[in-house]
Amino acid sequence: MVQCITSHPTTRPLFAEARIPYYLCAILDLIDDSLSEPFEHLRLATLDAMCSLVKVPDTEVIDCILYSEIMPLCLQILQCGSVMSKPFAAFIVEKLLLNNDYFQHICHLPKRLFPVCHALGNVVALLAEAPSAQLLNHVIRCYHRFLDDERSHWTMRNPFPKALTDGTFDHCLREEQRARMLLQQLLDNVRGPPVPYPSRSLKQLREVVTTLVLIFFWRAVSSIRLTFRV
């Protein structure tokens, strides 16, 4: 029923305006390999409904999602979720980044932007070990979107995933012409002159430093989690 509501142009904005997606986040927040198969199907159905919600992002939908946990949860699923759930999460992340209002919301503060870039970097590292053309397509489009803003542009390049530059995915993308073209544009940009960090106030620079410290902490925690999952 929820999937039907989020797919219909009349009921979709009403669904978002009622803030019902907030309640669905609780289903996405549980990532545990020991959970039963029916629960995993419920989580996939929830992700499918979210995909329908962001496919044509109305103003009401973006207003609902801006301060929700949907983006962080999708980034978590991309790194630690099941094989079937990751493409759904990647689609949601890509669609949100392609929306101008949400993209500017992410880029406005380093504490929103750095975690997104960090999570995508982790996904690239995972794809280097277990390639998926479908998932890699979404990730490349997300990185390509970062070229549209000087803040995300700088953050994306520092550091840029090595696996995207050394030919690791050449075989994976051999039949993905569009993805290869976008990746080449990324590489041309990354190999170009260094991008200066956008000028900021002292308060904003302090926030950047704080966020960098948090990123290093999250990176250490993510490494530990991935080690235990292996």
pLDDT, position 97: 95
Cα angle: 60, vertex 94, 21; to 5 degrees:
40
Q: Are 13 and 51 in contact (CB under 8 A)?
A: no
Rounded CA-CA distance 103/117 in Å is: 13
Amino acid letter, residue 29: D
| Nearest alpha carbon to residue 62 among 97, 25, 27 | 97
> Which two three-digit tokens encode residue 21?
């997606």
Say which CATH architecture domain 109-230 belongs to: Alpha Horseshoe (1.25)
Among the ranges given (32-36, 40-44, 100-104), the one the predictor scored with the smallest mean pLDDT: 32-36
**Residue among 85, 165, 80 at smallest CA distance from 122:** 80
Residue 197: pLDDT band (50, 70, 90) is low
Is the link from the previous residue into 13 a cis peptide, with omega within 30 of 0?
no
**Residue ranges matching CATH 1.25.10.10 in the chain:** 109-230
Measure the CA–CA gap between 25 and 28, rounded to whole angstroms. 5
Task: Please name which of 183, 45, 188, 51 lies closest in space to residue 127, comparing C-alpha atoms.
Answer: 183
Maximum Cα–Cα distance for the chain, whole Å? 51
Residues 106, 131: contact at Cβ < 8 Å?
no
The top-scoring range by mean pLDDT among 146-150, 189-193, 215-219 is 146-150
> Who has greater pLDDT, 205 or 53?
53
Rounded mean pLDDT of the chain? 83
